């Protein structure tokens, strides 16, 4: 069994992006599953193209995309991807999509098929702050999340997938007023734990994919 | 032409709910449209039953539900209703629904068919703080919003509808630390303005209902 | 009996400053006292010079300075002025004083001689959110507040004085994310109420000036 | 040369207090100085009595008190202690002092004699978020800080002293909404760094004690 996990390169003037920094620190095997880690660009379309190419090549059972939500205080699995791009800033190649549907034929929203409640519960048990988020924003993170759910559904793939937002790391906020952060170590430990929860839940609920939460 | 607008009774230990307090102060006619104002209970099912009964009786062209999002600093039209109830507190009759779908056959999310971007833009021009919200929560507000969108879609009704969240009023926060509020007058003026935007947009875009935003 | 109340002109890129906007709307008489209202510049030294000139000319029994603390959610009487200037931005004439004592001979801090607890209590009773603040910052507001307390103490004047911070007004935050504000009417009503509390307390406690709070 | 550093026991319903947890992890020697670590109770008077006894016994050159400011996002050296107790909650022996001066003969405020700006600057260079705070509250933390500054000044002791507030640790906020925290390791590393800055500054500025910042 295989899991594909992605992190973004840096954006918005930040020098680094802890999403891929933490993803690349994950072990190559967790609970017997192969963990394939890739970096994707913070660029509309190119990010999803790279994911699709890797899904075709690797044939994963689970895909988890990880992005940064600067300012949040904890690790937040996203509940829903929505069918709109409305960028407040440019992506890394200067694209700024305002008020457009992502997929003309897509539903307004798609729920994550990861066990988001269980992920939160398990992280808290490990002493890692976590909460469900009901909005992944309207920038590249939500775009990738939405396109991933749409692609899997349209092609009737048996892949469980979703999106996890992580906070800033402390290095990014040394002189920011009242801004929450985590250590890279805690984020990495958190993502390791997320994968464990997903794997254990995968085994348990294979028969009724999509009805969790 | 008719608009049906609803506000909730008070909940969560608050003595009043400015959502119906402001709704009931609206004029009976705006730009030639009849404005029908009703109070709905902060109770699952009963709230939606009352809305359905009034839709059947009044046959409105537009339905706007208004609720309170205590702690927000501005008037927030909601972009999307999601198919989940996950109450953190009990409703006014002691119901606490945790982690359940609202409609087994419903989509994961439905976009508001109100012109949410235009509403925000017009409110700001009037000096009233406003922003789009991408989450209406998982309590009775979202439940009513979701059921309304589902009912209109399932029955193929030609009704434009959506949900507006309003902040606390100052009386509710006199001794709360760092909590935003508005005056009832500004909220009422804001809702009056929301109705004007919806009416003017209704006239303009009747032919392509649902493609706005 | 006379009260001198001051407000600032605008600073920090804002188009208006509700501190003087609200001060100038106050009535000329409150509870039989004469209310003298002046605007002071957001400029170090010049602001205090204008206050000193007016104290000499008007001979007030009470001096209240009002300034804006953008982002606060309520009206906050300041408890203490501190002997340091540490500007994060330039004042309106380009001065930026970093890490310097205001008065070489002054104490580290001086308490307001306004009845700050009573002011908060009375405002809340009127439905106006209020709280004590224990920091007036390290910019021109604190500089004026400190110099005022120092001047009155050094010259052994029988003047009760202090500083009140007010929030943004709504016009200033229409497109700011999650930023609290008030209406100019509520701020003006609040300052009117502050003056009433000070006058009533003045009469009651004339004999033990300085021991309140 | 010796430094005395104190941390509190837990209060306000929290199971642990990272202030003493981090203090006790500090090494016994830093840059050749002896580091004496003691726990003090979150109880008015008893806390200060224990500090005075230890000052007499240990004869330290520097005293640093460390306390928790739950909700802050970074390590905050306090600039000023103020002459008022105004407890919002009871201390650990049920005392709740409301609106009373700490020392009848004391000044309204006393500045820390630690190099607070340099502490912040050095912490940020190490990647640890830090900022100056201008209010230590009105509970036991400020009471201890004020009494310490007063005691040293009144007895004309050549001791440099001050107060450092630290955030929650992650274990304390696993299920708190939007609440910042740090790891105990980062707090301990931060305090170690604070001591280094104080020692180096002590050596540099011995001749003009009290004029820093």
User: What value does the CA radius of gyration of chain A take, rounded to a whole number of Å?
Assistant: 16
In angstroms, the CA A73 to CA C18 distance is: 33
Contact B73 C173 (CB under 8 A): yes
Cβ density class B97-129: b for 16+ within 10 Å, e for less: beeebbeeebbbbbbbbbbbbbbbebbbebebb
Chains that touch B (3 or more CB pairs under 8 A): A, C
- Contact criterion met (CB below 8 Å) for A9 and A46: no
Continuous H helices in chain A: 18-23, 46-58, 116-125, 140-154, 184-205
Nearest CA-CA distance, residue D137 and chain C, Å: 8
Partner chains of D (3+ C-beta pairs under 8 Å): A, C
Tell me if A4 sits within 8 A of A57, measured CB to CB. Answer: no
Q: Does D contact A via 3+ CB–CB distances below 8 Å?
A: yes
Instruction: Report the alpha-carbon angle A42-A43-A49, nearest 5.
Output: 105
Catalytic annotation, pick one of B165, B185, B202, B213: B165
pLDDT per residue as tens digits for the range A164-188: 999 999 999 998 989 999 999 999 9
Q: Does D118 touch chain A (CB under 8 A)?
A: no
DSSP classification of residue C139: S
Is the pLDDT at C210 greater than 60? The verdict is no
Number of inter-chain CB pairs under 8 A, B vs C: 66
- C212 pLDDT higher than 80: no
The tokens of B101 are what?
């779908």
A212 touches chain B (CB under 8 A): no
- Whether B109 sits inside 8 A of A82 (CB atoms) is yes
Tell me, yes or no, if D174 comes closer than 8 A to chain A by beta carbon.
yes
Average pLDDT, chain C: 93
Strand-pair category, A80-82 with A109-111: antiparallel
Q: Assess B181–C contact: CB distance below 8 Å, yes or no.
A: yes
Residue B45 sits at the chain C interface (C-beta within 8 Å): no
pLDDT at A10: 85
DSSP string, D24-39: HTS-SEETTEEEEEEE
A204 falls in which pLDDT band (50, 70, 90)?
A: low
Of B99, B107, B111, the CB nearest to A117: B99
- At A210, the pLDDT band (50, 70, 90 cuts) reads very low
Nearest CA in chain D to A172: D127
CB proximity under 8 Å: A 186-205 to B: none
Q: Which residues of B touch C186 (CB under 8 A)?
A: 170, 183
CA distance D138 to D163: 14
pLDDT of res. C213: 32
Q: What is the mean pLDDT of residues B34-48?
A: 97
Instruction: Name, in order, each residue with C-beta under 8 angstroms of A205's C-beta and a sequence gap of 6 or more.
Output: A115, A211, A212
Mean pLDDT split into 10-residue runs, chain D, 213 residues: 95 83 97 97 96 98 97 97 95 94 97 96 96 96 98 97 97 92 97 97 51 32
DSSP SS3 for A58: helix
Question: What's the pLDDT at A209?
Answer: 36
Chain C residue closest in CA terms to D83: C111
C8 inside 8 A of chain D by CB: no
CA D13, chain centre distance (Å): 21
Task: Give the model confidence (pLDDT) of C33-43 as tens digits.
Answer: 999 999 999 99
Q: pLDDT band at residue A203, thresholds of 50, 70 and 90? A: low
Instruction: Specify whether the CB–CB gap between C114 and C174 falls below 8 A.
Output: no
Is residue C206 pLDDT above 60, yes or no? Answer: no
Q: Give the span between the Cα atoms of B118 and D4, in whole angstroms.
A: 62
| Average pLDDT value for residue range C159-178 | 95
* pLDDT attached to residue D212: 32
* C-alpha distances in Å from residue D19, one per residue of B67, C141, D11, D71, D141: 42, 33, 11, 14, 11
Chain B contact probe: residue of C69, C71, C73 with most B CBs at under 10 A: C73
Judge whether residue C203 has pLDDT over 70.
Answer: no
B54 Cα distance to chain centroid:
15
Given a contact cutoff of 8 angstroms between Cβ atoms, the answer to whether A43 and A93 are in contact is yes
| Active site annotation includes A105 | no
User: Is the dihedral angle over the CA atoms B194, B200, B206, B211 positive or is it negative?
Assistant: negative
Specify the pLDDT at position B204.
Answer: 56
- Which positions in chain D touch C110 (Cβ < 8 Å)? 108-109
Q: Residue B8 is encoded by which pair of tokens? A: 């909730």
What pLDDT, in 10s, does the model give residues C66-117? 999 999 999 999 999 999 999 999 999 999 999 999 999 999 999 999 999 9
Residue C55 — pLDDT band, cuts 50, 70, 90?
Answer: very high
Alpha-carbon span D170 to A92, nearest angstrom: 33
Contact C94, C178 (CB under 8 A): no
Q: What local confidence, expressed as pLDDT, does residue C138 receive?
A: 96
Say which of B21, B65, B74, B78 is annotated catalytic. Answer: B78
Q: How many residues does this entry show for chain C?
A: 213
For residue B167 the two structure tokens come to: 């902040």
Q: How distant is the alpha carbon of residue D53 from its chain centre?
A: 17
Residue A177: list chain D partners with CB under 8 A: 131
Q: Name every residue whose Cβ is closer than 8 Å to that of residue C151 and which is 6 or more positions away in sequence.
A: C48, C52, C55, C157
Please tell me if residue C79 touches chain D, with a CB cutoff of 8 Å: yes
Confidence band (pLDDT; 50, 70, 90) for C208?
Answer: very low
Residues of D tagged active-site: 78, 141, 165
**Interchain pair B130, C174: CB under 8 A:** yes
Is C131 within 8 Å of chain D by CB? no
Structure tokens at C86: 């540490």
Q: Is the pLDDT of residue A116 over 70?
A: yes
Asked about C121 being catalytic, the answer comes back as no
- Would an 8 Å CB–CB cutoff place B16 in contact with chain C? no
**Taking a C-beta distance cutoff of 8 angstroms, is the pair D84, D100 a contact?**
yes
Q: How far apart, in whole angstroms, are the C-alpha atoms of residue A162 and residue A160?
A: 7
- The percentage of chain A sitting over the pLDDT mark of 70, rounded to a whole number, equals 94
The chain D residue lying nearest C211, using CA atoms, is: D101
- Whether the per-residue pLDDT at C131 is higher than 60: the answer is yes
At residue A208 the predicted structure's pLDDT band, cuts being 50, 70 and 90, is very low
Contact by Cβ (8 Å): C82, C138: yes
Residue-averaged pLDDT of chain B: 93
| Mean pLDDT in residue range B25-41 | 97
D3 burial type by CB count under 10 A (0-12 exposed, 13-18 middle, 19+ buried): buried
For residue C1, what are the contacts with CB-CB under 8 A and spacing of at least 6? C32, C33, C34, C61, C199, C202
Q: How far is C168 from chain D (nearest CA, A)?
A: 22
- Of D108, D142, D135, which is closest to residue C113 (Cα–Cα)? D108
Show residues of chain C in contact with B70, CB under 8 Å: none
Q: In which element (H, E) is residue C147 found? A: helix C140-154
* Neighbour tally for A36: CB within 10 Å: 17
Query: Which of D109, D91, D117, D201 has the alpha carbon at shortest distance from D149?
Result: D109
Residue owning tokens 């209109």: B152
Token pair recorded at residue B199 = 């009416």
| Rounded Cα gap, residues B70 and B165, in angstroms | 9
- Among residues B141, B171, B185, B202, the one annotated as catalytic is B141
**Beta strand pairing status for C2-8 and C62-68?**
parallel
Q: Any idea what DSSP says for residue D208? A: G
Q: Which of A21, A65, A74, A141 is catalytic?
A: A141
* CA–CA dist A46, B124 (Å, integer): 35
Per-residue model confidence (pLDDT) at position A200: 92
Q: Does D117 touch chain C (CB under 8 A)?
A: yes
Angle at C61 between CA C59 and CA C67, to 5 degrees: 95
Residue found under tokens 């700490």: D102
How far, in Å, CA of B138 to CA of B80, rounded?
12
Closest in D127, D180, D183 to A73, CB measured: D180
pLDDT in tens, B124-166: 999 999 999 999 999 999 999 999 999 999 999 999 999 999 9
- CB-CB under 8 Å, D73 with A127: no
pLDDT of residue B203: 61
Instruction: Tell me which of A165, A171, A202, A213 is the catalytic residue.
Output: A165
Non-local CB neighbours of A94 within 8 Å, separated by 6+ positions: none
Q: For residues A172 and A11, is the Cβ–Cβ distance under 8 A?
A: no
Q: What beta strand segments (E) does D27-145 contain? A: 29-30, 33-40, 62-68, 76-77, 80-82, 109-111
Residue from A26, C66, B178 nearest A38 by CA: A26
Backbone angles phi, psi at C100, to 5 degrees: -120, 145
Digit-coded pLDDT (tens) for D125-180: 999 999 999 999 999 999 999 999 999 999 999 999 999 999 999 999 998 989 99
Strand runs labelled E in C41-159: 62-68, 76-77, 80-82, 109-111
Torsion of CA C130, C135, C139, C144, to 10 degrees: 80
Question: Which C residues in the span 141-170 are in contact with B, Cβ-Cβ below 8 Å?
Answer: 170
Q: What number of other Cβ atoms are within 10 A of residue B95's Cβ?
A: 14
pLDDT for residue D207? 38
Of D73, D182, D183, the CB nearest to A178: D73
Give CA separation, C64 vs B11, C37, C202, in Å: 40, 10, 13
Beta bridge partners of B82: B109
Q: Which of C82, C137, C213 is opposite residue D109, by nearest beta carbon?
A: C82
**Tokens at C57, concatenated:** 């000319």
- The rounded distance, in Å, linking the Cα atoms of B9 and B81 is 21
Alpha-carbon distance C164 to C191, whole Å? 9
User: pLDDT > 90: what percent of chain B?
Assistant: 88
Residues belonging to chain B: 213
């Amino acid at each position: 069994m295989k899991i594909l996990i992605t992190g973004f390169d840096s954006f918005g003037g930040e020098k680094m992006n802890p999403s891929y920094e933490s993803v690349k620190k994950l072990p190559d095997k967790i609970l017997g599953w192969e963990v394939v880690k890739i970096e994707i660009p913070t660029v509309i379309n190119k990010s999803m193209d790279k994911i699709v190419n890797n899904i075709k090549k690797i044939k994963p059972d689970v895909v988890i995309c990880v992005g940064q939500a600067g300012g949040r205080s904890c690790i937040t699995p996203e509940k829903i991807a929505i069918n709109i791009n409305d960028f407040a800033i440019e992506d890394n190649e200067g694209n700024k999509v305002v008020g457009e549907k992502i997929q003309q034929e897509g539903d307004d929203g798609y729920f994550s098929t990861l066990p988001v409640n269980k992920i939160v519960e398990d992280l808290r048990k490990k002493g890692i702050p976590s909460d469900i988020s009901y909005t992944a924003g309207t920038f590249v993170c939500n775009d990738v999340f939405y396109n991933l759910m749409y692609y899997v559904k349209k092609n009737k793939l048996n892949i469980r997938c979703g999106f996890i937002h992580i906070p800033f790391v402390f290095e990014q906020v040394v002189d920011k007023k009242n801004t929450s952060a985590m250590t890279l170590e805690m984020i990495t430990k958190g993502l390791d734990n997320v994968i464990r929860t997903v794997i254990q839940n995968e085994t348990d609920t294979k028969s009724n994919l999509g009805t969790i939460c």
